[in-house]
Structures are given as C-alpha cells and as structure tokens.
C-alpha cells in the first residue's frame, strides 16, 4: 500500500507543471540533501562543511561564487522543506540508478565527515536509501 501511495505521489505533476527539471534544480536538491546530512545531529562542524564543499565542487566543477550560492540555496531549501521526499522525487525523475547511488555514497561520506556516525545520520541514510529506490 505504501509503495502505491509513493508511486502516485511521484507520478503527480509538479505544482508548476514543469515537464523536467534543470541542472540547477538537481544541484539544489543534492545540496539540500547534503546539508541536511551534516546538520541532522544539530552541529555543523568545519570538517563537515569542508567535506560538503569538496563534494559539491567534485560533482559540479563550480567556481567559488557558484559554490557559495549553491551552498546557500541548499541550506535554504532544506530549511524550507517539510522533509526529504521533494528532493528525492526530483532526483528519482532525473537521475538513473547509478547516479542516485553516487549521491547516496556521497551522503555516507558526509555522515562520517566528523569521524562518527550519529544515530540520526544512520536513520537519514536508511530513509534516503528507500526514497531513492536503492536496493539493500
């Protein structure tokens, strides 16, 4: 039953009726998920922020101004979102399974950026794995 509801929600047209999402939309979704991961335990360390920046630079080959803007956009979208589902819907629509796996692997790297895996970080990883439809 849950899977049918998820399929229905994912199949629904976005409110603005866009047929697709631009590269920036995908980048913001990834940045929001990345930021959520480093902030989920309530403390964002310098190591976590540095790892977030390194992963975004690696993924998108940004200059410093673009990196700063994408980081701000990711933080803001994470704060404004009611959850992770909206971000993962876009990623599921636009990325193939291998690309989604890469995003997940990078989330795991961020979870360990401060040297420990907090229970909330593990819970987020488990939740995102399901939302991104990745096999166990």
- 3 state SS of 53: helix
Q: How far apart are CA 71 and CA 47, in angstroms?
A: 15
Q: What is the mean pLDDT of residues 97-102?
A: 97
DSSP tally for the chain: helices H, then strands E:
7, 0
CA distance 135 to 21: 25
CA distances from 119 to 67, 75, 136 (A): 29, 21, 19
Q: Looking at the 3D structure of the chain, how many domains does it have?
A: 1
Is the distance from CB of 53 to CB of 110 less than 8 angstroms?
A: no
Residue-range definition of the domain harbouring residue 97 = 22-131
Could you give the CA distance from residue 44 to residue 75 in angstroms, rounded to a whole number?
12
- Distance, CA of 100 to CA of 81 (rounded, Å): 20
Q: How far apart are CA 82 and CA 9, in angstroms?
A: 15
Q: Is residue 47 part of a domain?
A: yes
Domain of residue 73, CATH code: 1.10.3680.10
The span from the CA of 107 to the CA of 74, in Å, is 14
| Res 135: pLDDT | 81
Q: Determine, yes or no, domain membership for 14.
A: no
Tell me which H or E stretch contains 1: none
Q: What is the pTM of this model?
A: 0.84
Express each pLDDT in 49-83 by its tens digit. Answer: 999 999 999 999 999 999 999 999 999 999 999 99
Residue 14 has pLDDT above 70, yes or no: no
Q: Evaluate whether residue 16 is within a structural domain.
A: no
């Amino acid at each position: 039953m849950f899977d049918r509801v998820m399929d229905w929600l994912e199949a629904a047209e976005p409110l603005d009726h866009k047929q697709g999402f631009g590269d920036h939309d995908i980048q913001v979704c990834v940045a929001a998920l990345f930021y959520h991961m480093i902030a989920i335990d309530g403390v964002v360390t310098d190591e976590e922020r540095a790892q977030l920046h390194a992963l975004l630079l690696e993924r998108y080959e940004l200059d410093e101004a673009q990196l700063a803007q994408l980081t701000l956009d990711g933080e803001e979208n994470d704060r404004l979102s009611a959850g992770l589902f909206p971000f993962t819907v876009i990623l599921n629509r636009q990325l193939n399974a291998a690309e989604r796996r890469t995003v997940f692997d990078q989330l795991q790297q961020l979870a360990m950026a401060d040297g420990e895996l907090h229970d909330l970080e593990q819970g987020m990883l488990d939740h995102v794995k399901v939302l991104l439809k990745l096999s166990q």
